[in-house]
A and B are shown apart, each in its own frame.
Chain A
Amino acid sequence: MRGEVEWRSARLRETRDLTADIRLFALEAAGPFVPPAPGSHVQVAVTIGERADVRSYSIVGPCSDGLYRIAVKLLPDSRGGSAYMWGLKPGANLSVSTPRNHFELTRGRPHYLLLAGGIGITPIYTMALALAEAGADMRLLYGCRSAADLAFGDELRARLGDRLRTVVDGSGEKLDLPAEIARMPAGGELLVCGPIGLLEAAKRAWAASGRPVGELRFETFGSSGRYASEPFTVSIPRLGRTIEVPRNRTMLDTLEAAGIEVVSDCRRGECGLCALRILDTAGIVDHRDVFFSEAQKASNAKLCACVSRMAGGSITVDVAARG
């Protein structure tokens, strides 16, 4: 969905804990209600330490009562957005954007396979309800660590019945993605939201199946890596600068705050504009983008500064500045 978002003042109407670390927030925004299509998100103005920042959260459910609902997982090593949200009490004032959609649900496909991992259930839940409502042929595969982490599990079971399959890691359940994809009729779409490991497994299985690339759909906010977020050091020999990237801040934000210009656009690891050339590393590069192919990531020639980081240690990069 194109176009600028509008920022609106909003009030936190209520919260409800879905699991031990996933909390549902119901937000009442001022101004005419803009109904969100499945796959939409809102941006929320947050404060990280002293710093104003913006986080994107998928909208949960059809919002037919005029409230935007988002579900936020409290992440101990997050950049701080979840801790801010969890600190809010009902009645709190905040600023939210009108909905945007980078993950639009294409109607009228012969089949849909939805695949959610963990908190990635948020857009998938909304899509599942919309598809069930429309009578579409669909299945949902929902993976998480333990049965207690299955947010929306009961609601989904009630609406989808045996079209829902949960896969609980902790109970030793396994997902056979190639087999699941092989079961899909031709023309079916696979829609994925979840951690990067799940996403990359889905991409590999999809590519191996030989199905059309446009029928694999996914969304990522670039916040998930293979490794926990750790502070690391960036050196830029061309500028003679060495900068510490804190655990709760992206490399791109940190460089920009230090006055180092980097061209960027999406800031969620999709467009590739902020890619920097890697000169040297001490440690592991945690590629969190979806712009580079697996082969490109393995070569460690470049990284997307908006989402990717070092799993501790240091990295030496070059920037575009010349003279």
Chain B
Amino acid sequence: MDKRYPMNAWYAAAWGHEIRHELAARKICGKGMVLYRREADGAVAALEDACWHRLLPLSLGWLKGDQVVCGYHGLQFNSAGRCTYMPAQETINPSAGVRAFPVAERHRLVWVWPGDPALADPATIPDFHWNDGTEWVGEGGTFYGLKCDYRLVIDNLMDLTHETYVHAGSIGDEAITSAPFDVTHSGTTATVTRWMTDIEPPPFWAKQLGKPGHVDRWQIISFQAPSIVVGDVGVAPSGSGAPDGDRSQGVNGAFLAAITPETDTTCHYFWNFARTFRRDDEQLSRDLQTAHVNDGHGVYDQDHAVLEAQQRAIDANPRALFYNLNIDAGALWARRLIDRMLAAEAPAPFIPREAAE
């Protein structure tokens, strides 16, 4: 099977507050990892979640200071993955160790790099600053182990036409399907821009704006390869100048998605909906969270029912291809950028030198 996700990339593995001085297991890009926060300096460590000796998940063991103790025979590993204790012998096998994954904490998330550690540069952590909890506020969450290929989530977010059908009655609106959109890209990003001018606001946005009359609505969705989507969304009273850059009369939100492959057909979906309006209104933060995820009734719950059903259909029709519509341009650029990363990681084909000379 073709590879579906690049390994040489930063992926969100946890919210910072989820990682304490205790062992937490995550599977990222098919790799079992055990994460914990070091006592000594508060930094997060991520080790291969399989003991060097007999492969028992280290996450079933415990911490002794900042060393991980295997719960089977007591081997100990430091946060760099080196074995520091072996039972019943006076020395330590010099080969003994588990992989330590590059890890960094930024934008309230813990990011790991499952690929070649030599290439891991924290400067390339995706821009997710909307999640910092400073200029933009919002409290999101994670769907761990969502049962679909992470790219299906990217497809979903890169084309918001689906809102009309999946999210009718909240953010969905017929205007989305009739408004033109523009798709642009760079070497690592793809952007879908859609302006809906002089429309009746959908119920969700009418409530946030709290002003009568028609609105200009925008959806500017940006993808950062391989798996970040940020949607700059909002409405402003029609004629107040939003399409020309003056959003001061409107309300602006950003949906944030860091979608991390867990396996070929499952993913972890870190999400948030951040906003710049009524930032001190904690009740609004809770309400917005509930609007997205609410025991099956939030808009993301609606998406997830679709995404998991779609994956089941793909699994049931293994040789069926996707057909594409005009509306898929953003998603197709996103997939093309992912494919470029995959091609860059593929082993060089073997070309006998005689033939090449």
Alpha-carbon distance A108/B97, docked complex (angstroms): 16
Bound together, the chains give a CA A292 to CA B353 distance in angstroms of 47
- B window 50-106: CB within 8 A of A: 77-78, 80-84, 89-95, 97, 99-100, 102
In angstroms, Cα B353 to Cα A295, docked, is: 54
Contact A272–B89 (Cβ < 8 Å) = yes
Using CB atoms, name the residue of chain B closest to A131.
B118
Interface size on B, residues (CB 8 A): 28
How many interface residues does A have (CB within 8 Å)?
Answer: 36
Q: Across the interface, which residues of A come within 8 angstroms of B78, CB to CB?
A: 212, 214
Q: Which residues of B sit under 8 angstroms from A290, Cβ to Cβ?
A: 91, 93-94
Q: Is A291 an interface residue (CB 8 A)?
A: yes
How far is A215 from B94 in the complex, measured between Cα atoms in Å?
11
Residue from the list A30, A33, A37 in contact with B118, Cβ < 8 A:
A37
- How far does the Cβ of B90 sit from chain A's closest Cβ, in whole Å? 4
B125 interfacial by beta-carbon distance below 8 Å: no
The secondary-structure label for the interface of chain B is loop
A220 at the interface (CB under 8 A from B): yes
B349's nearest neighbour on chain A, judged by CB, is A32
CB of A30 within 8 A of CB of B91, answer no
Distance in angstroms between the alpha carbons of A16 and B290 in the assembled complex = 69
User: What residues of chain B lie closer than 8 Å to A109, measured between beta carbons?
Assistant: 80
Q: Does A28 contact B (CB under 8 A)?
A: yes
Determine if B281 is an interface residue (Cβ-Cβ < 8 Å): no
Residue with the highest number of chain B CB atoms closer than 10 Å, among A32, A107, A134, A220: A107
On whether A107 and B117 interact (CB within 8 A), knowing A214-B78, A290-B94, the answer reads: yes
Of all chain B residues, the one with the shortest Cβ separation from A293 is B90
Residue A149 CB within 8 A of the other chain: no
CB-CB under 8 A for A102 and B118, given A34-B347, A109-B80, A214-B78: no
Task: Spell out A's residues near B (CB within 8 Å).
Answer: 13, 28, 30-34, 37, 66, 102-104, 106-109, 130, 134, 212-215, 217-220, 266, 270-272, 290-293, 295-296
- 8 nearest A-B pairs in the assembled complex, by CB-CB distance: A214-B82, A32-B347, A293-B90, A102-B95, A214-B84, A107-B117, A214-B78, A270-B93
- Told that A28-B353, A106-B82, A293-B90 touch, could you supply 8 new A-B pairs with CB distance under 8 A? A32-B347, A32-B349, A107-B120, A108-B102, A130-B118, A215-B82, A219-B94, A292-B90
